[in-house]
Amino acid sequence: MKSLTYPLRIWVLKLCAMAAAALLLTPHSHAQGNTAVTTTAAKPASAYSSGVVYDWTQLDLLLVQQTPGFSPPVAARALGYIGLTLYESVVPGMPGYQSLAGQLNELSSLPWAQPDEPLHWPTVANAALATMTRMMFSNASAENKARIDLLERSLPLKYTQDFDPNTVTPDISNRSETFGKLMAMAVMTWARTDGGHEAWGPLRRNRANYVPPSGTGKWSATPPAFAPALLPYWGENRPMVLKAAADCPAPPPPAYAEDAGTAFYKQGQEVYSISNAATQEQRQFALYWADDPGKTPTPAGHWAWLTNDLLKSRQASLATAAETFARLNIAMSDAFVAAWYTKYTLSVIRPVTYVQLAIDSNWVPSLMHTPPFPDYPSGHSVQSSAAATVLEREFGANTAFTDNTHNDRGWGPRTFKSFKSAADEAAVSRLYAGIHYRFSIDGGKPQGQCVANKVLALKFKP
């Protein structure tokens, strides 16, 4: 143990203690083939409401907004592992379903519950989500850490129909809490090896600072802050489902050119013209979908929010919520890895730089500053298309819904006729904002759909 840092040593000791307390639980060396087996003494996860999931999702999105370092890719990654933890913690109580271990990259096994030792699935989910939230947001403020503790304690009192003290004995409750905590720790052990556990990557601390490639048409730092590149190695992270980030490529962008009349010039001219004469509706779209880190739950959090509301309005079960958030959050996490890989591989110049070079040397976007990373493809386009594709599968392609994500900011509620219409608006909003070309928006859509389709191909059932 002497070679471990102090925090890691404490974490390992806690994990060992938890494992010793979990002798009633059976870990499987290859859990993919393990389907849920319930007993007459235990209700399945589908017998309970999704209340626990709803409240934890709300808190996690608040933490995304208020915790330092949670840029859009980092937030999507956190939500991805939280969604997986939720699913894996209750899948033993979902007859006919199986663990995703053995299907996700380098994840061969996860704990599994003894079929003859009943567990209470809301208690399991509550403990798993509390434990994973604490670990994912370890740098949260003291106030928000207290919120985590309070929520874990209060949910059994809030959802008394799911936490009936007459049926949930202390033995079942303790065993359920142990299983939930063990599952979160097991998933976190895997998460720590993906290259993105810390923003700079734990395996890359000795790497030299990123230097953007030089050359005509290549990205360079943008005004007004000229900030350094954000997460330039994020595309090298291990995805959860994609075998590699390059498995879902975006179509090639047009060839760079500064001559009037060329395809690239027309794209730059369009950004310049629309930004200078955006309608009130276009400006509203740009601001509504900005989803800035530190001010909002970020783009992935926006889609998680509206999904949470949909599940609540449909009175979804715990099992349905777990399956839905596993697919959605994993897809959005992998979408950011794929998008960031393409961004830093191609390093396409941003519109603000291009317009200043070729059209108007004094121009800057009027609605918002350009984010500090290459242009192509639009991250909004990739992850929104991935999210919409998953939600179409979960709820139906023509499902209308109300989005309440930004009600407290005075931007909602807003109603959309379908997930695709919302994703298309989110994507084109970046053109109206003056920070992406149309080809970046259009190129991101098939990449996001590709990621979603690979996630939808996971076998949740044998």
Domain that residue 150 falls in: 14-191
What is the tally of structural domains in the chain?
2
Q: How far apart are CA 263 and CA 338, in angstroms?
A: 25
Q: Are 219 and 212 in contact (CB under 8 A)?
A: yes
Same domain, yes or no: 173 and 242:
no
Regarding whether 338 and 282 lie in a shared domain, the answer is: yes
* Claim to verify: residue 362 and residue 441 sit in the same structural domain: yes
The phi, psi pair for 443, rounded to 5°, reads: -70, -25
- The whole-number pLDDT of residue 36 equals 53
The pLDDT of residue 42 is: 82
Domain ends where: 175, 191, 207? 191
Q: In this predicted model, what pLDDT tens digit does every residue of 170-209 receive, in sequence order?
A: 999 999 999 999 999 999 999 999 999 876 544 555 677 8
The radius of gyration of the chain's CA atoms, rounded to the nearest angstrom, is: 23
Are both 125 and 61 inside the same structural domain? Answer: yes
Residue 449 has what pLDDT? 98
3-class secondary structure per residue, the chain: CCCCCHHHHHHHHHHHHHHHHCCCCEECCCHHHCEECCCCCCCCHHHCECHHHHHHHHHHHHHHHHCCCCCHHHHHHHHHHHHHHHHHHHHHHCECCECCCCCCCCCCCCEECCCCCCCCHHHHHHHHHHHHHHHHCCCCCHHHHHHHHHHHHHHHHHCCCCCCCCCCCHHHHHHHHHHHHHHHHHHHHHHCCCCCCCCCCCCCCCCCCCCCCCCCCECCCCCCCCCCCCCCCHHHCCCCCCCCHHHCCCCCCCCCCCCCCCHHHHHHHHHHHHHHCCCHHHHHHHHHCCCCECCECHHHHHHHHHHHHHHHHCCCEHHHHHHHHHHHHHHHHHHHHHHHHHHHHHCECCHHHHHHHHCCCCCCCCCCCCCCCCCCCCHHHHHHHHHHHHHHHHHCCCCCEEECCCHHHCCCCEEECCHHHHHHHHHHHHHHCCCCCHHHHHHHHHHHHHHHHHHHCCCCCC
Among the three residues 191, 210, 242, which one is the final residue of a domain in this structure? 191
pLDDT the model gives residue 100: 98
CATH number for the domain that contains residue 154? 1.10.606.20
Do residue 187 and residue 253 come from a single domain?
no
Q: Confirm whether 2 is domain-assigned.
A: no
201 in any annotated domain: no
- Residues 336 and 440 occupy one common structural domain: yes
- Let me know: does 81 contact 188? Beta carbons within 8 Å: yes
Residue ranges of the chain whose pLDDT lies below 70: 1-41, 199-206
Domain membership of residue 210 (yes or no) is: no
Same domain, 424 and 370: yes
143 shares a domain with 270: no
Do residue 175 and residue 239 come from a single domain?
no
Inside any domain, residue 155: yes
pTM of the predicted model as reported, rounded to 2 decimal places: 0.92
Does residue 211 fall inside a structural domain?
Answer: no
pLDDT of residue 27: 43
Is residue 318 domain-resident?
Answer: yes
**pLDDT for 34:** 61
Q: Count of CB atoms within 10 A of residue 260's CB?
A: 10
Q: Which of 160, 176, 191 is the C-terminal boundary of a domain?
A: 191
What pLDDT was estimated at residue 116? 85
Q: Based on the number of CB atoms within 10 Å of its own CB, is 165 exposed (0-12), middle (13-18) or buried (19 or more)?
A: exposed
Q: Is residue 416 part of a domain?
A: yes
Residue 73 lies in a domain: yes
Token digits of residue 455:
């996630």
Residues 305 and 446 grouped into a single domain: yes
Same domain? 301 vs 412? yes
Q: How far is CA 153 from the centre of its chain?
A: 26
Residue 139 sits in the same domain as residue 259 = no
